[in-house]
A and B are shown apart, each in its own frame.
Chain A
Amino acid sequence: MSATKVTVRLTVNGKDYVREVEPRYLLADFLRHELHLTGTHIGCEHGVCGACTVLINGKTGRSCLQFAAALDGAEITTVEGIAGDGPLHPVQEAFHEAHALQCGYCTPGFLMTTIEFLGQNPDPDRDEIRQALTNNMCRCTGYLNIIDAVEDAAKRLREGAREA
């Protein structure tokens, strides 16, 4: 069994990286320990909890179930890429005002899910929101404030789009 490294080119939050990695190196570990983007968290490593959720070519994916090497050429967005160092994104503002996070460990994953979901469904009802949020698990909040936050974020984004 060889540990021959593979070259991988990834664009993460708009920045290009070229690295040599073992094929088995999980994307989550690559982001966290190779690029020091530790906002993406690991909760289970079997694809259930969603704490590791990032956007891969615009779609939510479990970074604990992807090999970095297999994503050569992909564009990844992590939680750090939502607002950078600038003002909080409307989704983040909505989470903040709704008290939709407590320990914050699962929150990056929820933010990525919310951004994808509202991009596809800009005016969801609460049941649609609940269904979309099965993409992630939270143990602190009991989800209710997160549902409120997504509802509010949808409104903010619609109003922002009208103003634009």
Chain B
Amino acid sequence: MKAIEDFTLVGKTILRREDAYLMRGKAQFLDDLPEPKGLIHIAFVLSPYARADILSVDASAAKALPGVIDVLTGRDFAGDIKLFAPVIEIGGYRPVGRPVVAVDRVNFVGEYVAVILAESPYVAQDALDLVDVSYDPLPSVAGIRDAMKPDAPVLHDHLGDNLIFRTAFETEGFADRFAEGDVVLEEEFRLGRVTGVMIEPRGCMACPDPIATNLTLWTPTQIPHIVRTAIADHLDISESVLRVVTPAVGGGFGTKAHVYPDELIVVALARRYGRAVKWVQDRREELLTNAHAREHILKIRIAAKTDGEIRAVHLDVKTNCGAYPNHPYSPTLEATAAVRMMPGPYRIRNYKYDVCSVTTNTAPTGAYRGTGQPSAFLAIEGMMDRIGRRLGLDPADVRRRNVIRPEEFPYVNVVGVRYDTGSYSQSLERGLEMIGYDAFRAAQPKDRLVDGKYRGIGICNYTEVSGTGAPGWRVRGFAKMPGFDSSRVVVEPDGKVTVYISQADAGQGHYTTFAQLAADRLGVDWADVTVVEGDTSKTPYGTGTFASRGSVVGGGTVIRCSEKVGVKIRRLAGYMLNADPERLVLRDGRVFDPDDAARGLTLREVAETAYSMNNLGLPQGEEHGLEATDYYDPPMVTMANGTHVVQVAVDPQDGRIEIERYAVVHDCGRVINPKIVEGQVHGATVQGIGEALMEEIVYDAEGQHLNANLLDYLLPTAMDVPDLELSHIETPSIDTVGGIKGAAEGGLTGAVPALANAVCDALSGLGVNITRVPLRPSFVLEQIRNAQAAGEGRT
């Protein structure tokens, strides 16, 4: 097998083939697709209440509107669609199913109450205004702590309370080990609720096949096969007749890696009416109902020795499930992620965690870039700084004391996760060097005040889970998460190559990067390789693109599959050339013996033999065709890593935070296309800046969503982004094919804690303790003023 070090295209920045048709406006996103004749447009009546009984739905005026085909309620779907529920098998989780359209009860603002079927989107909107729903509002609950109170409204009667998930873990002798600490530190961290806010809102379109009984669902999803299986399960139809296709997808970020009720609804309606059915959400619905994430409370207690060694950690995490478990992850995803990822790059051997997720009358939460890791590292990296402050040690030294050193790899962490390779300490050192850490600390005054602003540095040294295979999902309870991805590589009769992969691109450049891998392995021109993704009737089954798995699992299967095809190419060529297949190389579209290069064959010539397009027969026992299929289940997880070091200035007059310098060190193992990886790091880091400084979905205590528009949910603009100083380290994995690790999420995981730590450091002279995000100026100024008042009170 050709070693990846010998690949000539891997590690090369090849400009993307996707760009031209995207920039010409030719790419077709969901709402750009040609609309079939007789298309039905649907719109959803949304609940304005966080929790209420539905007394009646009067759609008579809506139905009478010209252009309205029908108005359906929850009961109209109960026969066709089972209660929507993910398949989760983990101790401590109790299943909850959800009607795709509410029947008797609504449990969050934005829940679907009725469905308008109309001839056009404008008419559908008109009809929405005419549906008269009568509700009996009920007491509701939005916050995690409120939902845990004994008198809290219980969303799902069969649970008896709101504790949909809880689990715990403890290493042997934990209490004794904890008692060995010289100091105990405790802190509670909180993250605000956020969501992906990709610029393309969701939508979907189900098209019945005009001839057969098949149906195609167009949906901008990151998980086409999982969507297909979920629909088949819930609608009792065969997967064979259902095709799920992704159009061009305008950003995913994990938010589009869920199965949503609307996908089930449009399929059911298309089957019922025999017509295509389409739905496109608007931005308000997007913010109200797409998977939210990250509303976490983390309480962490650490027993440390005076030299900064962390002897034991107790982490208690509470997450907000929202009204229903999302599909396919349920609330266990974020919850288990936060507690399992906390050890990070550190040698933490004594660990106890308690984690739970509670139902509340808010939108269901799920995956969003980083999933659990920004939370975990907000906690552990926040504590590194606090240990330093308590013990009079430099926070960088505290990290050095605990970080896993190069000679300790491979390392199995305290929850059983294997770190095969990593640059945890090199990355830390490089990040500190880039920012000029030592000089900054040496010059930093105790009160942190320089030129009228409080200035500080924050560090986040993190691991990033990537490429999770089946065992990695099972251990977290995801019983139906395949974990593998697959590919089928075909050399066509003309010698060109088609690569079918079970992945689903949402802007990551798959059409370029996977072509690079296949082209390299098969020795063909990159331009002669076509990548096909996001179509369940064309690609073999797989898991999809999320949780930083694309390059690891997708890349891995393409490499292996290309190799398998390469074996057959050499075998056929050996037969045709009467040469030893083992000696033959694939290069420049040819197959030849390197010692006799002139005597070779083009790939096309070999293919013609395989496809019986010449006079040569096939050798004994050989089949026609020139292709292979590969299923790759990667290791349980593959840990990438990185370090963010950021310098901020906080203005005590208005609480505003300015990022003065930002260094990112990033190690995702073998890099396929450097510019694409860099783009992922930029994008994730800026989302992290958004989450740390300005983004938050705000519910009031009763579950009213207060900012479902882009005026009130703030996203970073180009003026909020400093020039990032980026440095790559490449520490290949020894467990994955090609040594590739994931790249996509680290930016978020690094940014949120680094910024929080920087602000905390900047304000530490005042005694301000920053333990939450987002850090809006209003909040920061309040902290500063309170600390100043307290300081004055003391004098």
Where the two chains meet, the residues of A that have a C-beta atom closer than 8 Å to any C-beta of B are: 22, 24-25, 29, 32-33, 37-46, 48-49, 51, 78-80, 82-83, 88, 92, 95-97, 99, 101-108, 111, 126, 129-131, 133-134, 137-147
A5 to chain B, nearest CB (A): 13
| Chain B residues with CB under 8 A of A92 | 20, 23-24
Q: Is there an interface contact between A46 and B283, defined as CB atoms closer than 8 Å?
A: yes
Chain A residue at minimum C-beta to C-beta distance from B123: A3
Q: Is there an interface contact between A51 and B199, defined as CB atoms closer than 8 Å?
A: yes
Q: Is there an interface contact between A45 and B721, defined as CB atoms closer than 8 Å?
A: no
> Contacting A102 at CB < 8 Å: which of B32, B121, B508?
B508
B154 at the A interface (CB under 8 A): no
Q: Is there an interface contact between B509 and A105, defined as CB atoms closer than 8 Å?
A: no
Q: Is there an interface contact between A79 and B711, defined as CB atoms closer than 8 Å?
A: no
> Contacting A96 at CB < 8 Å: which of B19, B28, B201, B283?
B19
| Chain A residues with CB under 8 A of B683 | 102, 139-142
Q: Is there an interface contact between B675 and A49, defined as CB atoms closer than 8 Å?
A: no
> Contacting B20 at CB < 8 Å: which of A29, A42, A88, A108?
A88
B232 at the A interface (CB under 8 A): no
How many angstroms between the C-alpha atoms of A24 and B711 in the bound complex? Answer: 23
| Chain A residues with CB under 8 A of B283 | 43-46, 49
Q: Is there an interface contact between B24 and A43, defined as CB atoms closer than 8 Å?
A: no
Interface segment out of the listed B102-110, B245-253, B418-426: B245-253
> Contacting B25 at CB < 8 Å: which of A37, A48, A126, A145?
A37
From residue 187 to 202 of chain B, which have CB atoms closer than 8 A to chain A? 196-201
Chain A residue at minimum C-beta to C-beta distance from B248: A104
Q: Is there an interface contact between A103 and B248, defined as CB atoms closer than 8 Å?
A: yes
How many angstroms between the C-alpha atoms of A134 and B679 in the bound complex? Answer: 19
> Contacting B201 at CB < 8 Å: which of A43, A111, A130?
A43
Q: Is there an interface contact between A48 and B710, defined as CB atoms closer than 8 Å?
A: yes
B686 at the A interface (CB under 8 A): yes
Where the two chains meet, the residues of B that have a C-beta atom closer than 8 Å to any C-beta of A are: 13, 15-16, 18-20, 22-29, 31-32, 35, 121-122, 196-201, 248-253, 282-283, 506-509, 675-676, 678-679, 682-687, 709-711, 715-719, 721, 723-724, 747
| Chain A residues with CB under 8 A of B198 | 103, 105, 139-140
Q: Is there an interface contact between A139 and B199, defined as CB atoms closer than 8 Å?
A: yes
> Contacting B250 at CB < 8 Å: which of A41, A126, A144?
A41
- Interface residues of A, dominant DSSP: loop
How many angstroms between the C-alpha atoms of A103 and B253 in the bound complex? Answer: 11
| Chain B residues with CB under 8 A of A45 | 282-283
B504 to chain A, nearest CB (A): 12
Q: Is there an interface contact between B253 and A46, defined as CB atoms closer than 8 Å?
A: no
Q: Is there an interface contact between A108 and B25, defined as CB atoms closer than 8 Å?
A: yes
Q: Is there an interface contact between A38 and B32, defined as CB atoms closer than 8 Å?
A: yes
Closest CB pairs A-B (n = 4): A39-B25, A103-B507, A105-B250, A104-B22
- A96 and B721 in contact (CB under 8 A), knowing A37-B25, A137-B199, A145-B682? no
| Chain A residues with CB under 8 A of B24 | 39, 79-80, 82-83, 88, 92
> Contacting A99 at CB < 8 Å: which of B15, B31, B199, B686?
B15
How many angstroms between the C-alpha atoms of A79 and B21 in the bound complex? Answer: 11
B663 to chain A, nearest CB (A): 14
How many angstroms between the C-alpha atoms of A42 and B286 in the bound complex? Answer: 13
> Contacting B710 at CB < 8 Å: which of A44, A102, A130, A140?
A44
- Interface residues of B, dominant DSSP: loop
> Contacting A104 at CB < 8 Å: which of B27, B197, B253, B679?
B27
How many angstroms between the C-alpha atoms of A26 and B401 in the bound complex? Answer: 61
How many angstroms between the C-alpha atoms of A97 and B16 in the bound complex? Answer: 9
Q: Is there an interface contact between A140 and B282, defined as CB atoms closer than 8 Å?
A: no
> Contacting A105 at CB < 8 Å: which of B16, B199, B508, B716?
B199
| Chain A residues with CB under 8 A of B687 | 139, 142
How many angstroms between the C-alpha atoms of A22 and B507 in the bound complex? Answer: 36
> Contacting B679 at CB < 8 Å: which of A22, A29, A44, A145?
A145
A139 to chain B, nearest CB (A): 5
| Chain B residues with CB under 8 A of A134 | 717-719
Chain A residue at minimum C-beta to C-beta distance from B711: A48
| Chain B residues with CB under 8 A of A97 | 15
Q: Is there an interface contact between A131 and B199, defined as CB atoms closer than 8 Å?
A: no
Chain B residue at minimum C-beta to C-beta distance from A48: B710
How many angstroms between the C-alpha atoms of A49 and B711 in the bound complex? Answer: 10
Q: Is there an interface contact between B721 and A143, defined as CB atoms closer than 8 Å?
A: yes
Chain A residue at minimum C-beta to C-beta distance from B286: A44
> Contacting A41 at CB < 8 Å: which of B200, B686, B719?
B200
* Sample (9) of A-B pairs whose CB atoms are under 8 Å apart: A43-B283, A48-B709, A48-B710, A79-B23, A103-B249, A104-B250, A131-B718, A137-B715, A142-B686
| Chain B residues with CB under 8 A of A22 | 122
How many angstroms between the C-alpha atoms of A145 and B724 in the bound complex? Answer: 11
Q: Is there an interface contact between A42 and B710, defined as CB atoms closer than 8 Å?
A: no
| Chain A residues with CB under 8 A of B28 | 38
A72 to chain B, nearest CB (A): 20
Q: Is there an interface contact between B282 and A96, defined as CB atoms closer than 8 Å?
A: no
| Chain B residues with CB under 8 A of A78 | 25
Which of B248, B249, B710 has the most chain A CB atoms closer than 10 A to its own CB? B710
- A131 and B719 in contact (CB under 8 A), knowing A39-B24, A99-B675, A106-B199? yes
A1 to chain B, nearest CB (A): 10
Q: Is there an interface contact between B718 and A133, defined as CB atoms closer than 8 Å?
A: yes
Q: Is there an interface contact between B709 and A103, defined as CB atoms closer than 8 Å?
A: no
How many angstroms between the C-alpha atoms of A48 and B676 in the bound complex? Answer: 27
| Chain A residues with CB under 8 A of B18 | 104
How many angstroms between the C-alpha atoms of A78 and B683 in the bound complex? Answer: 26
Chain B residue at minimum C-beta to C-beta distance from A96: B19
Which of A37, A96, A97 has the most chain B CB atoms closer than 10 A to its own CB? A96
- A144 and B721 in contact (CB under 8 A), knowing A43-B283, A44-B710, A88-B23? yes
Given A43-B200, A105-B200, 5 further pairs, Cβ under 8 A: A33-B35, A40-B25, A101-B22, A133-B719, A142-B679
| Chain B residues with CB under 8 A of A24 | 122
| Chain B residues with CB under 8 A of A146 | 718
Q: Is there an interface contact between B199 and A95, defined as CB atoms closer than 8 Å?
A: no
Which of B283, B716, B717, B718 has the most chain A CB atoms closer than 10 A to its own CB? B718
How many angstroms between the C-alpha atoms of A137 and B676 in the bound complex? Answer: 20
Q: Is there an interface contact between B718 and A95, defined as CB atoms closer than 8 Å?
A: no
| Chain A residues with CB under 8 A of B507 | 101-104, 140
| Chain B residues with CB under 8 A of A104 | 18-19, 22-23, 27, 248, 250, 507
A149 to chain B, nearest CB (A): 11
| Chain B residues with CB under 8 A of A143 | 682, 686, 716-718, 721
| Chain A residues with CB under 8 A of B122 | 22, 24-25
Q: Is there an interface contact between B25 and A144, defined as CB atoms closer than 8 Å?
A: no
Chain A residue at minimum C-beta to C-beta distance from B681: A142
| Chain B residues with CB under 8 A of A82 | 23-24
| Chain A residues with CB under 8 A of B723 | 126, 144
| Chain A residues with CB under 8 A of B711 | 46, 48
| Chain A residues with CB under 8 A of B22 | 101, 104, 107
> Contacting B23 at CB < 8 Å: which of A51, A95, A144?
A95
| Chain B residues with CB under 8 A of A38 | 25, 28-29, 31-32
How many angstroms between the C-alpha atoms of A147 and B722 in the bound complex? Answer: 11
Chain B residue at minimum C-beta to C-beta distance from A104: B22
- A46 and B709 in contact (CB under 8 A), knowing A80-B25, A99-B675? yes
How many angstroms between the C-alpha atoms of A38 and B18 in the bound complex? Answer: 17
Chain A residue at minimum C-beta to C-beta distance from B35: A33
Q: Is there an interface contact between A141 and B248, defined as CB atoms closer than 8 Å?
A: no
| Chain B residues with CB under 8 A of A42 | 31
| Chain B residues with CB under 8 A of A145 | 679, 682
| Chain B residues with CB under 8 A of A96 | 15-16, 19-20, 23
Q: Is there an interface contact between B682 and A142, defined as CB atoms closer than 8 Å?
A: yes
| Chain B residues with CB under 8 A of A129 | 718
How many angstroms between the C-alpha atoms of A106 and B683 in the bound complex? Answer: 14
B641 to chain A, nearest CB (A): 20
Q: Is there an interface contact between B16 and A49, defined as CB atoms closer than 8 Å?
A: no
Which of B22, B507, B682 has the most chain A CB atoms closer than 10 A to its own CB? B22
| Chain A residues with CB under 8 A of B13 | 99
How many angstroms between the C-alpha atoms of A96 and B251 in the bound complex? Answer: 18
How many angstroms between the C-alpha atoms of A97 and B20 in the bound complex? Answer: 11
